[in-house]
Amino acid sequence: MNEGVSGKVVVITGASSGLGEAAARLLAAQGAAVVLGARRADRLAALVNEITASGGKALAVTTDVADRAQVKALVDAGVKAHGRIDVMLNNAGLMPQSLLERLIDVNIKGVLYGIAAALPHMTAQKAGHIINVSSVAGHRVGPGSTVYAATKFAVRALSEGLRQEVKPYNIRSTVISPGAVATELPDSVTDRDAASRIQQFYAQVAIPASSFARAVAFAISQPEDVDINEILFRPTRQDY
């Protein structure tokens, strides 16, 4: 795996909107071949068309990260198309007040399934980079977001354990913890009062999803002997 982004094969979950969509656009513009997974096939197809029309390389595979077989199919499609996988970006996630079962399936199991799908290829290559998405809530718990925070703390723990275990295979690992970033994610909140509160907060302080995309590109573009393990960022106006 070479320094920079150009030429790398990057698999992204949750790529149909928000953080994943922004990352796909930026990385493709910088020369990566992106393999995009999400449940909304129409949104994925539109994004692939946009990227390829601009001269980029993109492939879409309809994927529900709660289904391990679908995540494996996503990664395998990327390897089949390009011969390898350089980066696995486990981005798909849900916000607070969603059903407990679904939060665990997407926010924790989805990350584990992404790691499990990518690791056999990366260990065989003796190279690769796994990027997991946590949250500011993975550093600080607030009222009403206990379970969500627990899933994001779990992502940080998984990422640190992964970092230590993959050293013999020259695999890098990064966990990115965004603050309030303008995406459709708050729309996944099922409690009406909480949804209203979160949406008002985001309207006041949220920064563009491109901020996340730049953090991803920064981590990926480092020389092979540099392993950016954790990035925590917030809007300048966000106080927690």
Residues annotated as catalytic are 148
Cβ atoms within 10 Å of 184's Cβ, excluding its own: 13
Mean pLDDT taken over the chain: 94
Q: How far, in Å, CA of 67 to CA of 206, rounded?
A: 31
Q: What is the CA radius of gyration of the chain?
A: 17
Fold of the domain built from segment(s) 9-178+208-231:
Rossmann fold (3.40.50)
3 state SS for the chain = CCCCCCCCEEEEECCCCHHHHHHHHHHHHCCCEEEEEECCHHHHHHHHHHHHHCCCEEEEEECCCCCHHHHHHHHHHHHHHHCCCCEEEECCCCCCCCCHHHHHHHHHHHHHHHHHHHHHHHHHHCCEEEEEECCHHHCCCCCCCHHHHHHHHHHHHHHHHHHHHCHHHCEEEEEEEECCECCCHHHHCCCHHHHHHHHHHHHHHCECCHHHHHHHHHHHCCCCCCCCCEEEECCCCCCC
The pLDDT value recorded for residue 1 is 53
Is 114:155 a contact under the CB 8 Å cutoff? no
- The 10s digit of each residue's pLDDT in 110-155 is 999 999 999 999 999 999 999 999 999 999 998 878 999 999 999 9
User: What are the extents of the domains in the chain?
Assistant: 9-178+208-231
By mean pLDDT, which of 79-93, 159-173, 180-194, 219-233 is the weakest?
Answer: 180-194
- The 10s digit of each residue's pLDDT in 184-240 is 766 666 666 767 777 788 889 999 999 999 999 999 999 999 999 999 999 999 988
More confident call, 35 vs 200: 35
Is 94:189 a contact under the CB 8 Å cutoff? no
